[in-house]
Amino acid sequence: MITNVLIQAASGQSVQKRAPVVSSKANRAEYLDRAQKSIETLDKMWLSRTATSSTWTGINAWQRFPIADSLMEYIKISGDKTLLPVVELAVANKDGLDGNDDDLWAVISSLKLYDLNKSPSLLQFAQTQYKHLTDAYWDDTCGGGMWWDHERTYKNAITNELLLYAATLLYQATGDRLYYTWSFKEWEWFHRSGLINDRNLVNDGLDKHCSNNGQKTYTYNQGVILGGLINLYLMDKDSGHIATATTIAKAAISDLSNSAGVLVEPAEDLAVDGQIFKGIFVYHLGHLFPHIGNAADRRIISAFIGHNAHSAWNLPKSSGNQINAYWDNLHSLYGAASQAAGIDLFNAAVVTVR
């Protein structure tokens, strides 16, 4: 049975969209089982592995890292480390990266893997790469911020969200005040840059006049920022960071869900890049959930993830546990990227659905 809970905008005013609340029989163990089955399908259909490297077919190079993050999240939730060798080979594979955002995805995955296996080379890579990127691609254009590309043509949201998130992870790994300083320097710039619009959603980037360019509010831009804000809260205990993250999360749930309550991208046709975006959002939404004290906000997020997890698993018998990119039973767009997004969704359901 599906009922409705009215989402409140940050201003306190009611908005017209409603977030579905699912009365579902699925529990923690069942969502964990769905994640496991989805991982088995990911490996069976798309894993490409040699003795020295692993990747997944049909993806863009940067997506190796959020796919590895999905698997590492499952390892942490389940305690099952049998996936670790595949993850280690994938994170070591830097082939095909292009742009500062790609390099930051690699830094972040290296730090998450370091948290699991404590390999010094992973931390050394992350520190070296972070220094290179900040030395070479952070400047005073638009008052600060990192360039997206090596040619320095565009300052965008995702690169700077990743920079913030990576800095907070480096601080967690090392306790070095350098990364504490970078974390708050990046957030101060991001917060005043105008990238967060008046609907509390993050647009794609800045125009040549250093103003919000009004381009699409992709779901992953609403996700990675949550990870950075959560870690800022863990660093300085300022609950305002959780409040800001919750506001962005609720705005995304409200504005980026279709009439059936399923999360959608603002771009109707999903290229390979976009097929993993929703997974990145719910990954961080799942991490935000334990830090939210307001019971109504927790219900909204729990209901949203539960409904989407139900929709994504409502598969035709012939699918072989493939998760389509649209999280519904109306499309048939499959691949490693969309499969990883489904794994993120079921991982999040394990920790948020009661």
Q: What is the pLDDT along the chain (354 residues), one digit of tens a residue?
A: 333 333 333 333 333 344 444 445 589 999 999 999 999 999 999 999 999 999 999 999 999 999 999 999 999 999 999 999 999 999 999 999 999 999 999 999 999 999 999 999 999 999 999 999 999 999 999 999 999 999 999 999 999 999 999 999 999 999 999 999 999 999 999 999 999 999 999 999 999 999 999 999 999 999 999 999 999 999 999 999 999 999 999 999 999 999 999 999 998 778 999 999 999 999 999 999 999 999 999 999 999 999 999 999 987 767 789 999 999 888 889 999 999 999 999 999 999 987
**What was the pLDDT predicted at 17?**
43
**What was the pLDDT predicted at 36?**
98
Task: Check: CB of residue 305 under 8 Å from CB of residue 282.
Answer: yes
Structure tokens at 52: 């020295």
Coil, helix or strand for 176? coil
Could you tell me the CATH number of the domain that includes residue 319?
1.50.10.20
Instruction: Please list, residue by residue across 114-131, b when 16 or more beta carbons sit within 10 angstroms of its beta carbon and e when fewer do.
Output: beeeeeeebbebbbebbe
Give the single-character DSSP code of 15.
Answer: E
Give 175's contacts (C-beta < 8 A, 6+ positions apart). none
Q: Hey, which bits of 146-287 come out as E strands?
A: none
**What was the pLDDT predicted at 321?**
94
Task: Check: CB of residue 56 under 8 Å from CB of residue 67.
Answer: yes
Structure tokens at 284: 């961080």
Closest CA to 217 of 260, 259, 251: 251
Closest CA to 129 of 157, 170, 96, 89: 170
**What was the pLDDT predicted at 25?**
56
- Residue 4: enclosing H or E segment and its boundaries? strand 2-8
Note the maximum CA span of the chain.
Answer: 56
Closest CA to 306 of 325, 277, 334, 286: 286
Coil, helix or strand for 235? helix
When divided into structural domains, the chain yields a total of 1
In angstroms, rounded to a whole number, what is the distance separating the alpha carbons of residues 161 and 142? Answer: 16
Beta partners for residue 14, in sequence order: 8
Instruction: List Cβ<8 Å contacts ≥24 apart for 331-335.
Output: 333/270, 333/275, 335/46, 335/58, 335/59, 335/272, 335/275
- Residue 55: enclosing H or E segment and its boundaries? strand 54-56
**What was the pLDDT predicted at 16?**
37
Range of the domain at 77: 2-352
Closest CA to 224 of 297, 135, 295, 160: 160
**What was the pLDDT predicted at 354?**
73
Give 103's contacts (C-beta < 8 A, 6+ positions apart). 97, 129, 133
**What was the pLDDT predicted at 24?**
53
Q: Please tell me the number of Cα atoms within 13 Å of 63 on its side-chain side.
A: 25
